[in-house]
């Protein structure tokens, strides 16, 4: 049975990412030893493969919508939500949490700069800078730079620049890429065939990493979208699964679709 909670004023994202609020300490999913050194003849080939993926993604700029089911499991409590998700890369996202009768309970949108929420149960409206929202919820600030839409559609953020360090995955799923600048804010996992992004980590230190994996791919308009997004590395062993169905390309999706105008009588909360 799908559980529909009475949501706090912050937003549906707060509910989805609540297990992240207390940082967990987990081991990184890549081997500690660098896989290929810069002097290795294969180094340039791996760099080229990743650059090809990056270039192909930038030419696409996915826009789509889907039905979304969110499942949160942890040692404390399990929860399920259902609703509608719209994505316009790199930064635009909309989620509508609905009741079993299809009535919207919460509408949340982000445009890379602002985060807006309408709660129809409490008749409240909230607008924050997304940087402030992430800070208030103790979430990695890099999420704003990467873009929530990019994260949910397995796209590479624009700040992920070459050259990259290469490390093997502990479970032999592919190769982890990270900028050689020394930051550990984000690592990206590419399958061994060098064709697509199958995972990423976000975190400021190697001991505190959110791990996001992508699976069950759906092809729309010539590009692949993951219909299963799994988020782990959370407190209390929590795991979030986002399952997308009825994924439909929406090439005419406009930025105005991600703006919220509060209905008359709704109070603005802070």
- Over 90: is that where the pLDDT of 12 sits? no
Q: Is residue 256 part of a domain?
A: no
Rounded to 5 degrees, what are φ and ψ at 97?
-85, 125
| Structure tokens, 42 | 């294969």
Q: Which residue has the higher pLDDT, 269 or 156?
A: 156
Residues with Cβ within 8 Å of residue 101, at least 6 apart in sequence: none
Q: Is residue 134 part of a domain?
A: yes
> For the chain, what is the domain count?
1
Q: Is residue 219 part of a domain?
A: yes
Q: Give the range among 13-27, 92-106, 136-150 with minimum mean pLDDT.
A: 13-27
**Integer angstrom CA distances of residue 121 from 8, 117, 263, 267, 270:** 10, 12, 13, 12, 17
Q: Is residue 155 part of a domain?
A: yes
Residues with Cβ within 8 Å of residue 203, at least 6 apart in sequence: 140, 184, 185, 209, 210, 233
- Over 80: is that where the pLDDT of 180 sits? no
Percent of the chain at pLDDT exceeding 90: 33
Domain ranges, residue 149: 12-248
Q: Which residue has the higher pLDDT, 83 or 61?
A: 83
Q: Is residue 4 part of a domain?
A: no
**Which element (helix H / strand E) includes 48?**
helix 43-58
Q: How large is the average pLDDT for residues 221-240?
A: 86
- Over 80: is that where the pLDDT of 35 sits? no
Q: Tokens 């839409």: give the residue.
A: 149
Q: Is residue 240 part of a domain?
A: yes
pLDDT value of position 11:
42
Which pLDDT band, with edges at 50, 70 and 90, does 9 fall under?
A: very low
Supply the Cα-derived Rg of the chain in whole angstroms. Answer: 19
Tens of pLDDT, residues 195-229: 899 999 988 766 567 899 999 999 988 889 999 99
**Integer angstrom CA distances of residue 66 from 85, 167, 248:** 5, 34, 6
- Over 70: is that where the pLDDT of 169 sits? yes
Spatial distance between the Cα atoms of 71 and 140, rounded to a whole number of angstroms: 21
Contact 243, 228 (CB under 8 A): yes
Q: What is the CATH number of the domain that holds 159?
A: 2.50.20.10
Q: Is residue 182 part of a domain?
A: yes
Q: Give the range among 16-20, 46-50, 63-67, 177-181 with minimum mean pLDDT.
A: 16-20
Extract the runs of DSSP E, i.e. beta strands, from 120-194: 124-129, 164-169, 174-179, 186-191
For residue 147, count other CB atoms closer than 10 A to its CB.
Answer: 24
**Integer angstrom CA distances of residue 129 from 12, 98, 133, 270:** 16, 25, 6, 12
- Over 60: is that where the pLDDT of 16 sits? no
Q: Is residue 16 part of a domain?
A: yes
Percent of the chain at pLDDT exceeding 70: 81
């Amino acid at each position: 049975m799908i559980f529909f909670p009475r949501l706090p004023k912050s937003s549906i994202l707060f509910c989805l990412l609540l297990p992240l609020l207390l940082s967990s300490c987990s081991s990184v999913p890549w081997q500690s030893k660098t896989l290929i050194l810069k002097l290795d003849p294969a180094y340039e080939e791996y760099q080229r493969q990743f650059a090809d993926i990056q270039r192909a993604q930038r030419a696409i700029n996915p826009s789509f919508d889907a039905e979304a089911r969110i499942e949160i499991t942890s040692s404390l409590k399990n929860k399920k939500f259902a609703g509608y998700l719209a994505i316009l890369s790199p930064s635009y996202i909309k989620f509508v949490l609905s009741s079993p009768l299809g009535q919207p309970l919460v509408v949340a949108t982000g445009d890379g700069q602002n985060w807006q929420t309408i709660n129809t149960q409490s008749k409240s409206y909230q607008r924050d800078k997304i940087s402030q929202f992430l800070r208030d919820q103790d979430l990695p600030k890099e999420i704003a730079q990467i873009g929530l839409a990019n994260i949910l559609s397995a796209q590479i953020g624009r700040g992920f620049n070459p050259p990259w360090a290469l490390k093997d995955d502990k479970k032999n799923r592919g190769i982890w890429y990270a900028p050689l600048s020394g930051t550990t804010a984000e690592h990206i996992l590419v399958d061994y065939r060098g064709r697509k992004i199958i995972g990423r980590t976000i975190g400021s230190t190697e001991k505190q990493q959110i791990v996001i994996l992508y699976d069950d791919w759906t092809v729309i308009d010539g590009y692949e979208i993951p219909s299963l997004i799994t988020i782990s590395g959370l407190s209390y062993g929590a795991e979030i699964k986002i399952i997308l169905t009825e994924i439909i390309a929406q090439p005419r999706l406009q930025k105005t679709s991600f703006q919220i105008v509060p209905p008359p009588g709704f109070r603005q909360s802070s």
